[in-house]
Amino acid sequence: MQTEIHVLVTSDIHGYVYPTTYRDHTEEGLGLAKISTLVKQKRAEGNVLLLDNGDLIQGSPLTYYHAKYKQDEPNPIIKVANHIGYQSSVFGNHEFNYGREYLNKVVEQADFPWLSATVVDQNTGKPAFGKPYIIKEIDGAKIAVLGVTTQFIPNWEESRNIQGLDFPDALETTKKWVASIRESERPDVMIVSYHGGFERDLKTGEPTERLTGENEGYQMLQELEGVDVLITGHQHRTIAEKVNDIAVVQPSNNGQVLGEVKLTLEQTVEGWKVKQVLPNIIEVDDGIEADKEVLDLISDFEAATQQWLDSPIGKIEGDMTIDDPLQTRLQDNPLIEFINKVQMDAAGVDIANTALFNNESPGFRKDVTMRDIVSNYVYPNTLNVIRISGKDIKDALEQSAKYFQLVDGEITVNPSFVEPKPQHYNYDMWEGIDYQLKISNPVGERVIKLEYHGSPIDPDKQYDVVMNNYRAGGAGDYDMYQGKPLIKDIPVDMTELIADYIVKRKTIKATCDHNWKVTI
């Protein structure tokens, strides 16, 4: 006797339900409403186990609007997830962005358990939000799902949002729990749902990033015993492969694909045995209709979000639009200068850095709305002022300069900042200092000018610099920032700071002092 089970997987949904990016009203191939249509189709075909792998509740204007202004109303993402019928979700790193109180409400409102063996209470050493794993029975077969979260969260997250929590090593904790579940539960199928990605190439084993412990998926595939399926995420990649007889899936982000593992089980005198595991990716394209039930479920909240996004808050005098992202990163420009000015104004310091987070940022039009702001500043960052040396500043600029390479005499983007995951947000541009990067120079020797107030920066002198909290913790290989004195913490989202800055002044002049440039 045989039975088939379709394990359906989402990860890094980031609050996208409607098929829109919110930059405009164009319908896109993404979102939980379209995912729901695919799930219904699969349920009509047979047994389904529907799992989410984390970063569910944060990332879209819809979630920002709820977290910022409507926390007392039911969470729209959880309403949708309950309706679709998820059987579990894992805590991703972005689940903590809106604070513990917000996250507690999310857990309470969910009809499904939130899992993680690596989000533990500092006092008890036990999982902080309930269950590390669940057992589901389908056709008499026992399926174990263990949730695991990347241990790297303290490197990014505001300390107040994770107070009282520990994040132990994901690999070692997973090995311990898999062995324990195997012994105590004796499941027929063992699934590990890991909100983390791969630190090495799946075929060659060569490192694809610095081995910090942020992503340990490859090592899990080498060292875990008795695992049938490894669900991954965090890196926003699209993966469906088998490695060491383990089915591996990573279903992109924002609901652009649905991951699937088709399990074929065979009943023997000893019980159910896994006969076959087939990983697959189902594209969410324009031909898939969004589930009307899901759209109707939060239509009022979606309408309120859209109205909020289109509310004008001020005007731009001059040009702050982005036509060519590469050119924006090669020389000072009004949009980046403006963002840095907002940061310096909020922090009361005169040196700042920021990034153009992705290649889709349109810049600001003449009439600025909240839609413009969230389309350009896409992360829920707050600001930190840290005290660093002149040498640290130079080292940071050299790290940023790695973003570029020369190809046939032309400056292009280093592939390591594009694959396996776009990391344009890890190239910073500065205001308050004057500098020049020369890309034809060897890596580590590209800063050929570095001045502060008209004089060369002293390597031994200390400078107070404002930057987002993600960067201030050293994320993005900016190790020179780690452990540096925190002079000021500004616990206000940058989108709000930008909006407040514009509302207060009503009209913003687009200026550019040309304090930096990148040359061949």
Gap between the Cα atoms of 472 and 387, Å rounded: 10
Name the E strands within 87-160: 88-90, 114-115, 120-121, 133-138, 141-149
Antiparallel, parallel or unpaired: β 462-468 and 383-389: antiparallel
Q: Which backbone phi and psi does 30 adopt, to 5 degrees? A: -160, 175
Q: What is the largest CA-CA distance in the chain?
A: 82
Which helix (H) or strand (E) segment holds residue 344: the answer is helix 334-347
Gap between the Cα atoms of 327 and 518, Å rounded: 10
Name the E strands within 271-391: 271-283, 312-317, 320-321, 352-354, 363-364, 367-369, 383-389
96: DSSP letter: G
What is the token pair recorded at 255? 């609901």
Gap between the Cα atoms of 262 and 251, Å rounded: 15
pLDDT of residue 270: 84
pLDDT per residue, tens digit, the chain (520 aa), is 899 999 999 999 999 999 998 888 889 999 999 999 999 999 999 999 999 999 999 988 899 899 989 999 999 999 999 999 999 999 999 999 999 999 999 999 999 999 999 999 999 999 998 799 999 999 999 999 999 999 999 988 888 999 999 999 999 999 999 999 999 999 999 999 999 999 999 999 999 888 989 999 999 999 999 999 999 999 999 999 999 999 999 999 999 999 999 999 999 988 899 999 999 999 998 899 999 999 999 999 999 999 999 988 999 999 999 999 999 999 999 999 999 999 999 999 999 999 999 998 999 999 999 999 988 998 878 899 999 999 999 999 999 999 999 999 999 999 999 988 899 999 999 999 999 999 999 999 999 999 999 999 999 999 999 999 999 989 999 999 998 999 998 878 898 899 989 989 999 999 999 999 999 9
For the sheet with 383-389, list strands across it: 429-431, 352-354, 462-468, 383-389, 486-490
Provide the 10 A C-beta neighbour count for residue 186: 10
What is the token pair recorded at 2? 């045989």
For the chain, the structural domain boundaries read: 2-305, 312-519
Name the E strands within 363-416: 363-364, 367-369, 383-389, 404-407, 410-413
Closest CA to 4 of 41, 45, 33, 55: 45
Coil/strand/helix, residue 10:
strand
Gap between the Cα atoms of 455 and 432, Å rounded: 12
Which CATH architecture does the domain made up of 2-305 adopt? Answer: 4-Layer Sandwich (3.60)
Which CATH architecture does the domain made up of 312-519 adopt? Answer: Alpha-Beta Complex (3.90)
Gap between the Cα atoms of 170 and 148, Å rounded: 7
Gap between the Cα atoms of 401 and 465, Å rounded: 19
Q: What size, in residues, is the chain?
A: 520
pLDDT of residue 461: 98
